[in-house]
Amino acid sequence: MINQSAKHEGASGLGGQPVVRPNGTVIVPYLSSSDQIRSFRSIDGGASWRATVLVSAVSHHNAAGGLREEALPSAEIDAAGTVYVTWSDCRFRSGCPANDVVLAKSTSETTWAAPTRVPIDATTSTVDHLVPGIGVDRSTSGGSARVAVTYYFYSNANCTASTCRLNVGYISSTNGGTSWSVATQLAGPMTLSWLPNTSQGRMFGDYISTSVRAGGNAYPIIAVAHAPSGSTFDLAMYATTGGLAVTGATAAPAQAEVPAAPRTALPTTRH
């Protein structure tokens, strides 16, 4: 957590994720307290930090049902030192009724390209995408970068605490995010009453991680809940057994949607 990202600026925020470029520069994207994704860097191994720079403004649809979540960024880096940052954002949907997963990439240590939309669902769909976690094969780069994104989602953004169902999805790219595979549902649906209630909302563990093995599969780490046993919650961390293939042979068309109906969960290892 970044409580004060650059003391000389008085900047502050949450969810900082440091990545290291091949030249040793440390870059930390984070969600600022002014609802922006920003980043800052160190060129001396963290002994000092440069001023923060804007990655992008954030437009975010708050999740229904009292779920604790924010537009926290997830960051990774490729072999050439390009930083990839994802977060949930509604800028591509008229009226901000639901979030997409968006992706921004650095063009230098201090500049960023405009975010693009990961085309999991049509912009007219009711699906709300939340809390993405990105992984990049660090032996690849540029137009050949292998990218994997795991995320949570509601099939219907306009649900209530009693009707919302939380799911986990996965999508990947083999060309740096130019095109994407068809999305796959990994887990869910989860009823919100299966999640512990807190002063900040229903808590499922609103962080997520995905790692991609060099030349191999992606390995998401996700929180999955099952129906409680009496007053004892069943909420644990899982990893897919053997990982998930990183593919991009079929570009996800704009109208493709993750099915709302539950599927059989992939084999998982519980931790």
In this predicted structure, what is the pLDDT of residue 267?
44
pLDDT digits (tens, 9 = 90+) for 169-178: 999 999 999 9
**71-103 residue pLDDT tens:** 999 999 999 999 999 999 999 999 999 999 999
User: Above 70 in pLDDT, residue 52?
Assistant: yes
What are the angstrom distances between the C-alpha of 1 and each of 21, 44, 93, 232?
20, 21, 29, 29
Predicted confidence at residue 251, as pLDDT, reads 54
Q: What are residue 41's phi and psi, to 5 degrees?
A: -140, 160
CA end-to-end span of the chain: 23
Ranges 20-24, 45-49, 128-132, 261-265: which has the least confidence? 261-265
User: Binning pLDDT at 50, 70 and 90, where does residue 215 land?
Assistant: very high
Whether 206 shows a pLDDT value over 50: the answer reads yes
Token output for 74: 């997830």
pLDDT above 80 (res 38): yes
Spell out the residues 6+ positions from residue 144 whose beta carbon is closer than 8 angstroms to its own: 174, 175, 176
Give the pLDDT score at 12.
Answer: 81
Q: What percent of the chain has pLDDT over 70?
A: 87
Q: Do residues 97 and 90 make contact, with C-beta atoms less than 8 angstroms apart?
A: yes
The pLDDT of residue 261 = 31
pLDDT at 270 over 90: no
pLDDT confidence bin for 164, thresholds 50/70/90: very high
Checking if the pLDDT of 58 tops 50, the result is yes
Residues 102 and 63: their CA atoms lie apart, in Å, by 16
Q: Which residue has the tokens 């994104």?
A: 149
Alpha helical stretches, state H, 91-219: none
**Strand 201-202 relative to strand 209-212: parallel, antiparallel, unpaired?**
unpaired
Q: What is the mean pLDDT of residues 127-135?
A: 97
CA dihedral 104, 209, 14, 47 (to 10 degrees): -90
In our burial notation (b when 16+ CB lie closer than 10 A, e otherwise), range 199-229 reads eebbbbbbebbbbbeeeebbbbbbbbbeeee
Is the pLDDT assigned to residue 8 strictly greater than 60? no
Least confidently predicted of 32-41, 105-114, 233-242, 254-263 = 254-263
Burial of 48 (0-12, 13-18, 19+ CB in 10 A): exposed
What the block records as the tokens of 152 is: 């949570």
Per-domain residue ranges of the chain: 13-270
pLDDT (average), residues 50-64: 96
Q: How far, in Å, are 120, 153, 248, 261 from residue 185 at the CA level?
A: 11, 10, 16, 10
**For 27-31, 65-69, 205-209, 260-264, which range has the lowest pLDDT when averaged over its residues?**
260-264
What pTM did the predictor assign?
A: 0.88
CATH architecture of 13-270: 5 Propeller (2.115)
